[in-house]
Amino acid sequence: MSLQNLRAIASIYAFELHRFRRTLLTGLLVPVITTSLYFVVFGGAIGSRMTEVDGIPYAAFIVPGLIMMAMFTESIFNASFGIYMPKFTGTIYELLSAPVSATETVIAYVGAAATKSLIVGSIIFLTAHMFVDVPVAHPFAMVGFMLLIAVSFCLFGFILGVWAQSFEQLQVIPLLLVMPMTFLGGAFYSVHMLAEPWRTITLFNPIVYLISGFRWTFFGKGDVAIGLSLLFVAGMLVVCISVIGWMFRTGYRLKK
Give this prediction's pTM. 0.92
Q: What per-residue confidence (pLDDT) applies to 8?
A: 83
Q: What per-residue confidence (pLDDT) applies to 6?
A: 85
Distance (Å, rounded) from C-alpha 166 to C-alpha 181?
A: 23
Residue 130 or residue 246, greater confidence: 246
* Average pLDDT of the residues of the chain: 88
Residue of 109, 30, 123 whose CA lies nearest to 76: 109
The tens digit of pLDDT for each residue in 153-208 reads: 999 999 999 999 888 888 888 888 888 999 889 888 899 888 889 899 999 999 99
User: Do the Cβ atoms of 160 and 80 come closer than 8 Å?
Assistant: yes
- Listed in sequence order, the residues at least 6 apart from 54 whose beta carbon sits closer than 8 Å to its beta carbon are 61, 190, 192, 219, 221
- The stretch 70-86 carries a mean pLDDT of 91
Distance (Å, rounded) from C-alpha 215 to C-alpha 236?
A: 19
Q: What per-residue confidence (pLDDT) applies to 105?
A: 92
Distance (Å, rounded) from C-alpha 2 to C-alpha 228?
A: 38
The tens digit of pLDDT for each residue in 81-115 reads: 999 999 888 888 888 888 888 899 999 999 999 99
The tens digit of pLDDT for each residue in 7-53 reads: 888 989 998 888 777 776 676 787 778 877 887 777 666 656 677 88
Distance (Å, rounded) from C-alpha 146 to C-alpha 71?
A: 8
SS3 of 22-35: HCHHHHHHHHHHHH
Q: What per-residue confidence (pLDDT) applies to 43?
A: 65
